[in-house]
């Protein structure tokens, strides 16, 4: 048999494993019969492949359901603690490392604020390494039980292809002076775990589409509203990346030509008006020396108490966000827009009605009528979970391939 022939057989097998594993992961528990109906694979293939996945310890039997008069059908599911995932959120004000099982339960997390040192690259890499050590120590889980480390960054990610793509990741973060930072190479020197790197808004988008408010939509925009503002555009079920992965930099679309100076160096960007950092900067009564989160919470409290300066600032923010969302509606015709990020969730309950009204006022009527605007359901730390979906994606696409360091622990 030729090498090409063997390759094809192996590819087919891997494809079938991936198909069944994905079904069981997202829709399980399911019986073998249900898997057959859902995938169109033959009963013999289902039996072979589920047998392999059971033998590998990736799936398990978990009870049974009656089948009309016949033998009960055994249900299968992915084993939640067969492997673990690490998600890292390099945020604008903190570095957060979370350890999850395959069922996405966060087993431990480590938060380190970024204060005076800002985004000094060496410092950020130190914090990630420290966080990784902390979450493993706290749970007693070994590096061999971790599928990989996903890292969400507040910048544009350029990287090669293939299984070691994360090692080549270079980050362009114009708002905090990361100019072609070789983050993949720097992290590779500090951990043997497989690395996966992507933009934080895009990882949030993946998490929302798989597990949150985006579920079931084919065309959506997930907006990340924190210190800055970003977005992940999902077009026909896939994340839209553009020529070099930078698509979705919604925060730097212009709302005021020649307007306020933005962190990106340009003027009049949406982020320069509605990002949390900008809102706190622009509020004359901001408590001096407060963190951005405390400042924004104080702004919200002042608005709730009816103080005119705070009310006006948030009313304007709602109108600008609504206008920005109208642009997204006119450009991409999404069926759903999900607003996430810590600032989005903090301000969302107050701003959402006015944001929806402004979107209606500024968007074309026909696409606006097809779009719902909603808040994230995954909480303020969803970028960490989103980052953990990066190694999860690789695991599911590869048909449950465990990295070499992890197979040793299979036992």
Binding site for Zn ion (CB under 5 A): 252, 262, 264, 266, 269
Q: Which is nearer to Zn ion, 29 or 251 (CB)?
A: 251
Nearest CB to Zn ion, comparing residues 144 and 271: 271
Query: What is the rounded distance in angstroms from the CA atom of residue 228 to the CA atom of residue 121?
Result: 19
3-state secondary structure of 88: strand
Alpha-carbon distance of 135 to 149, in angstroms, equals 12
Smallest gap from residue 242 Cβ to Zn ion (A): 17
Give me the least distance between CB of 375 and Zn ion, in Å please.
24
Cβ proximity to Zn ion: between 72 and 265 the closer is 265
Nearer to Zn ion, 73 or 172 (CB): 172
Q: How far is residue 386 from each of residues 72, 214, 250, measured CA to CA in Å?
A: 37, 13, 19
Q: In 3D, which of 56, 143, 11 has the Cα closest to residue 400?
A: 56
CB contact set of 383 (below 8 Å; sequence gap of 6+): 87, 89, 91, 96, 152, 200, 203, 204, 207, 224, 341
Helix/strand number for the chain, H first, E second:
14, 16
CB of 105 vs Zn ion, minimal distance in Å: 37
Closest CA to 45 of 53, 58, 36, 57: 36
Q: CB of 125: closest distance to Zn ion in angstroms? A: 26
Name the minimum Å distance from CB 265 to Zn ion: 7
Looking at the Cβ atoms of 255 and 269, the one nearer to Zn ion is 269
Joined together, the tokens standing for residue 20 give 């069944």
Nearest to 11 by CA among 410, 401, 407: 401
User: In terms of CB distance, is 29 or 91 closer to Zn ion?
Assistant: 91
CB 393 within 8 A of CB 351: no
Smallest gap from Cβ 259 to Zn ion, in A, equals: 10
């Amino acid at each position: 048999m030729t090498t090409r022939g063997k390759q094809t057989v192996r590819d087919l097998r891997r494809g079938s494993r991936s198909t069944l594993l994905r079904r069981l992961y997202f829709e399980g528990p399911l019986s073998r019969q249900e898997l057959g109906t859902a995938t169109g694979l033959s009963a013999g293939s289902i039996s072979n492949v589920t047998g392999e996945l059971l033998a590998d310890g990736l799936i398990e039997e978990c009870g049974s359901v009656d089948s009309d008069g016949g033998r009960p059908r055994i249900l299968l599911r992915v084993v939640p603690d067969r492997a673990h995932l690490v998600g890292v959120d390099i945020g604008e004000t903190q570095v957060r490392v979370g350890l999850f099982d395959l069922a996405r339960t966060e087993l431990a997390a480590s938060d380190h604020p970024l204060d005076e040192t800002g985004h000094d690259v060496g410092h950020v890499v130190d914090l990630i390494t420290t966080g990784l050590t902390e979450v493993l120590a706290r749970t007693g889980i070994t590096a061999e039980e971790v599928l990989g480390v996903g890292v969400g960054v507040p910048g544009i990610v350029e990287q090669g292809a293939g299984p070691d793509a994360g090692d080549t990741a270079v980050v362009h973060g114009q708002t905090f002076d990361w100019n072609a930072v070789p983050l993949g190479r720097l992290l590779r020197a500090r951990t043997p775990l497989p690395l996966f790197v992507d933009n934080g808004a895009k990882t949030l988008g993946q998490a929302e589409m798989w597990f949150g408010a985006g579920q079931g939509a084919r065309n959506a925009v997930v907006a990340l509203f924190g210190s800055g503002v970003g977005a992940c555009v999902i077009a026909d079920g896939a994340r839209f990346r553009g020529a070099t992965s930078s698509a979705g930099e919604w925060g730097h679309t212009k709302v005021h030509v020649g307007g306020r100076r933005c962190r990106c160096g340009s003027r009049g960007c949406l982020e320069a008006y509605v990002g949390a950092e900008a809102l706190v900067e622009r509020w004359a009564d901001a408590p001096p020396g407060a963190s951005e989160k405390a400042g924004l919470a104080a702004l919200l409290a002042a608005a709730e108490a009816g103080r005119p300066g705070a009310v006006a600032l948030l009313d304007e923010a709602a109108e600008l966000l609504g206008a920005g969302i109208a642009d997204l509606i006119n450009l991409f015709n999404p069926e759903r827009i999900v607003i996430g990020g810590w600032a989005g969730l903090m301000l969302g309950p107050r701003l959402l009605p006015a944001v929806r009204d402004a979107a209606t006022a500024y968007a074309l009527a026909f696409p606006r009528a097809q779009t719902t605007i909603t808040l994230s359901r995954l909480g303020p730390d969803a970028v960490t979970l989103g980052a953990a979906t990066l190694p999860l994606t690789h695991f599911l696409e590869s048909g449950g391939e465990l990295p070499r360091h992890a197979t040793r622990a299979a036992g």
